[in-house]
Amino acid sequence: MKYLKVIAFTHKHIELKELGKLVLCQENTADKLHAVKEHFGIDEIFYLSTCNRVEFVLSTQHKVDREFAEAFLTEMQMGLCTHSTATFLDAASIYEGQEAMNHLLRTSCSLESLIVGEKEILAQLRKAYEDCREAGLTGDKLRVTMECVVKTAKEVYTYTNISKNPISVVSLAYRKLKDLKLCGNARILIIGAGETNRNISKYLQKHKFSNFSVFNRTLSKARQLADDLGGRAYELHELKDFKGGFDAIITCTSAVEPILTTEIYTSLLNGDTDKKTIVDLAIPNDTAPEVLEQFDVNFIEVHSLNEIAKKNLQERYHELVHAEAIIEQNISEHLVMLKQRKIELAMRQVPEKIKEIRNNAVNTVFADEVQSLDKESREILEKVINYMEKKYISVPMIMAKDILINNN
């Protein structure tokens, strides 16, 4: 566990609008991570980006401190100026060893989220890991770490009431949208077909909204969401030419630059002067600041949900104690498991060595004596040797595990 390190940038120390500057472009994330992994000689790495955090999880022998984090961000080529880099580094949280594990477990259970009790973070964490695993960026150490992360989160959600009557960024955003009392046949443009927009679409569908146009970089994903909603699907580049009108826009993409520019928004209005609604749950925002300055808009974003999130934390505060107890127990069990794995890895050659000794004894050292035995005697000898071989393999392993665990 001592090689587990986390460099975290979260809503606790960084404004959400600023946090968006650290989000990596989805198209070249794997390439950048491979490059930085090779440059620093990092064993394993994965990258997590949600609406309220950007984190890098590493397995490395390197000392990870502010100096390393600065070099790391520079090598990632995020396009930050010197001042921005320094500001982010001052706000970064760096964890290692057991503290890093504790942070990951708390994150997976939503204890570090803007909305305590929301379950989306576990799915986001798992997907972030799986994407990097498939890209060849992770190995056995982070695999074992993630097994503990997932197990712990499931136990917290099962055995505590932290997610009772669950709310999330999506549900809070929908509540605010619902307060605006859009009519049932409101024309809704959905930009992005990822998990966040799929989740908010379920609320819209449940409350009988039916007029949808879905835009996404990948048309097949747009069609999948549009089919679920009974709407129409378009590629993202078609947004600038869309003339079907709209009453509300719901947007959440992984773009690092605004999707809704003044030019595109003006085109979408197509001369309409009615006040519109934008629900922007992307980090960084998909909506250019100039749109909000130049047009009368009901604007709902993640940052505006902070006050509701604080109230939610107060309501669930008593459940944090139970969740933290589960986390502590899982860390203790994980430490024992790691010690056992250490013994198993160190002693994995023992069975082969014992088999070599056995074969040498039977076929070389005592070959003549064995050959002189009758069939029945050889069978008895074989049984004795097999029994002794199993014991010589299992007994030292058990004793070694007991000694290591009991002495630590």
Binding residues for substrate: 50-53, 113, 118-120, 124
Alpha-carbon gap, residue 108 to 96, rounded angstroms: 17
Distance (Å, whole) CA 96 – CA 2: 7
- How far is the C-alpha of 190 from the C-alpha of 195, rounded, in Å? 12
Instruction: Specify the amino acid at residue 387.
Output: Y
Give CA–CA dist 280/287, Å, rounded.
7
How far is the C-alpha of 141 from the C-alpha of 109, rounded, in Å?
Answer: 21
**Binding-site annotation, residues:** 50-53, 113, 118-120, 124, 192-197
Give the CA-trace dihedral at 15, 316, 120, 251, to 10 degrees: -50
CA–CA dist 402, 399 (Å, integer): 5
77: left (phi over 0), alpha (psi -120 to 50) or beta: left
For the CA atoms of 322, 326, 331, 336, the dihedral, rounded to the nearest 10 degrees, stands at 140
Give the CA distances from residue 150 to residues 122, 183, 210, in Å, rounded to whole numbers and listed in that order. 7, 41, 36
C-beta atoms surrounding 163 within 10 Å: 20
* Cis amide bond preceding 258, omega within 30: no
Cα 63 versus chain centre, distance: 23
Active site residue 183: no
Quick one: DSSP state of residue 260?
B
Counting every residue written for the chain, the total comes to 408
Alpha carbon distance 96, 3 (integer Å): 7
Q: How many other C-beta atoms are found inside a 10 Å radius of the C-beta of residue 406?
A: 7
User: Which is the catalytic residue, given 51, 109, 148, 252?
Assistant: 51
* C-alpha dist (Å) from residue 39 to 33, 35, 62, 95: 10, 6, 12, 21
Provide the annotated binding site for NADP(+): 192-197
Looking from the CA of 168 toward its CB, the CA atoms found within 13 Å total 20
In whole angstroms, how large is the CA radius of gyration of the chain? 28
Q: Give the active site residues.
A: 51
